[in-house]
Structure 1
């Protein structure tokens, strides 16, 4: 929606009209109206990313508990993107997870997404808080939200020598021959959520 400080501009125009002008009998005043979002898209996107992350995490833990980590790798390969797409449909948005060290080729970060990932890494290295970011593209609002690893992630994304079991490692290498998503430690940046929302008036 468009928002303007009409009272401010109106009073300004009155004062301008009352002041004498020695150079001209009339003066044109240009008033610019800035378009401002009335919806907190950054917050809405965060909620969508959190909800989707919870659904993925819940289903992943269920897969691990039922048939082990090796099966969970296959589950992620077959179901993670489908679950994400289902949540996107339910939330009326477009959601995806991307990384600079992707496992699934479909999760490879774009140039713009890589720029944000590097920005977050720089902030972390300087001891600053990693903040989400909102960008605008026409009538779309795109939110970027960091994803960090925890101890549970090490079963599939940790050290191949000490964290990932041989059977799980074999399954990862079989399904993802170009995998780049190993060697992480807890509380490292794993990737980001990208949430694309249509601007509502």
Structure 2
């Protein structure tokens, strides 16, 4: 009796778009290269992955497509994460399978923090094949460090270029003021100027009275 073989699958590339707000929308596309679809009971019948549970964030309305066709994802709640798998069928050696997930993440405004679906099959890890674009609310921009580290920031658009899919993206954002500064940064600068002014003024008075 021939031994059954497990699938050999690689995440070739991924494009993830996050539209931030009180309810953020994530649209994530994953392209898998199937070197071998496996055999027998081990043949590729689903692609699974994990999605972290994050404090003060609620994930809902998860939908999925396989190569553009709607499918019903299976979602099971575990300690600290959700297992999310999508069914596939009729996959042969050498095929490419495109999985697209879309879901909402609700939580406090002012900080984008959303989990991402990390599939069981990883990238080769030899090139940056994971592109993530976060679009912050109109009139805001990045106001704090981000995870992962942002590749580029252009107004309310923040982009990442990565080797692997991270478990989540996180960043603070705030209203932009004149010159592209956030209001928090502007207030901080004004505070520093006032403090320096008081110090310089005090030194000047001391010299006059000396």
* Higher relative contact order (Cα pairs below 8 Å, separated by 6+ residues): 1
Judging by fraction of residues, say which structure has more helix.
1
Instruction: Answer 1 or 2: which has greater strand percent.
Output: 2
**TM > 0.5 between the two?**
no
TM-score by length of 2: 0.24
